[in-house]
Amino acid sequence: MDPIAELRSPLLGAVPGLRHGFVADARRAPGGLLRPRQVHGARVLPVEALAGDPQEADGALTRPGAPAVAVVTADCVPLLVADPAGRVAAAVHAGWRGLAAGIVERAVDAVRAVAGPGGLVAAVGPAAGPCCYETTEEIAERLDPGGRHRRRSRPGHALLDLAGVASDRLAARDIEVDRIGGCTICDTRWPSYRREGDRAGRLLAYVGFAARRAGEDAG
Ligand SMILES: [Zn+2]
């Protein structure tokens, strides 16, 4: 298979002025991105908090005129949320701990605080898939109480669809979701901590707004 350089979401691609992508090798990401120090938590910070020595967070918010923001993953779920009117966008790192801690809901609240009550759009990128991602039944039950996104594997364990859990949580908040890319564990074009351990590279998901040239109509 040819390597994937970058995937983009048609849904986010339709937002005026927005630029975004899921880059297979974080070292090849565009320059000028700001990233939080990721800790598998539920904190979401504005882009201003990421300059210099970045603070700990797993979600980052940006707006037109500010630098783009990014998160890195290797099996966890990378997701991007945007206001379709192009006023604000967020990049989120959502592993099982972050999902359990409510990172998706916190990020949506932070975006809505700027965008207002209208609909939002989101893209959920490549992550450990239900074909390969085994966890304990306890964690699977906690993240997916309805049982829609898991099936039993061996005793005490389940195969869980983390991206499915994240997508459902976005959809439950009235957000249109684009799910793109497959499983990072079995699709070797993506970095995977489960498959490669400490040697794994990082996938980078970024979102920001194109610089507006002087005299250009805001549209
Ligand atoms: Zn897989």
Q: What is the CATH number of the domain that holds 108?
A: 3.60.140.10
Residues around ion ligand 1, judged by CB within 5 A, are 129, 131-132, 183, 185-186
The rounded Å distance from CA 65 to ligand 1 centre is 39
Position 169 in a domain: no
The rounded Å distance from CA 51 to ligand 1 centre is 36
pTM, two decimals, is 0.94
Q: Are strands 89-94 and 157-160 parallel, antiparallel or unpaired?
A: unpaired
The rounded Å distance from CA 161 to ligand 1 centre is 10
The rounded Å distance from CA 131 to ligand 1 centre is 4
| Residue-range definition of the domain harbouring residue 59 | 6-127+181-208
Convert the pLDDT of each residue in 189-198 to its tens digit.
Answer: 999 999 999 9
Q: What is the mean pLDDT of residues 106-113?
A: 97
Position 143 in a domain: no
- What pLDDT sits at residue 219? 47
The rounded Å distance from CA 127 to ligand 1 centre is 9
Position 215 in a domain: no
Contacts of residue 154, defined as CB under 8 A and 6 or more positions apart, other chains included, come to none
